[in-house]
Amino acid sequence: MFDTRDINEIYSEIDLLKLFRIAKESALIGNEILIKNYNKIQTITSKGRKGDLVTNVDLEVEEKIKDYLITKTPDISIHAEESGKLIKTSELTWCIDPLDGTTNYSHGYPFFGTSIGLLYKNNPILGSISVPYLNELYSACLGKGAYCNDKEIKVSNTSTLFDSLLVTGFSYDRFDIEDNNYAEFCYLTHKTRGVRRGGAAAVDLAFVASGKVDGYWERGLEIWDLAAGAIIVKEAGGVVSDYPNDEFNLSSGRILACSPKLEKELKLELSKVSPLNKQHYT
Q: Which residues contact 63 (CB under 8 A, 6 or more apart)?
A: none
The per-residue pLDDT for 7 is: 76
Sign of CA dihedral 47, 102, 250, 198: negative
Which one-letter DSSP state was computed for residue 183? H
pLDDT band at 77 (very low <50, low <70, confident <90, very high): very high
User: Cβ distance 174 to 180 under 8 Å?
Assistant: yes
User: Cβ distance 213 to 204 under 8 Å?
Assistant: yes
Residue 91 predicted with pLDDT over 60: yes
User: Can you give the pTM of this predicted structure?
Assistant: 0.93
Sign of CA dihedral 33, 39, 45, 47: positive
Residue 174 predicted with pLDDT over 60: no
Q: Which domains does the chain show, CATH number per domain?
A: 4-152 (3.30.540.10), 161-280 (3.40.190.80)
The per-residue pLDDT for 275 is: 72
Q: What is the 3-state secondary structure (H, E, C) of 95-154?
A: EEEEEECHHHHHCCCCCCEEEEEEEECCEEEEEEEEEHHHCEEEEEECCCCEEECCEECC
- Can you tell me the distance from the alpha carbon of 270 to that of 242, in angstroms, rounded to the nearest whole number? 12
- Can you tell me the distance from the alpha carbon of 162 to that of 190, in angstroms, rounded to the nearest whole number? 9
Average pLDDT, the chain: 91
The per-residue pLDDT for 192 is: 98
Q: Report the pLDDT averaged over residues 62-88.
A: 95
- Can you tell me the distance from the alpha carbon of 101 to that of 36, in angstroms, rounded to the nearest whole number? 16
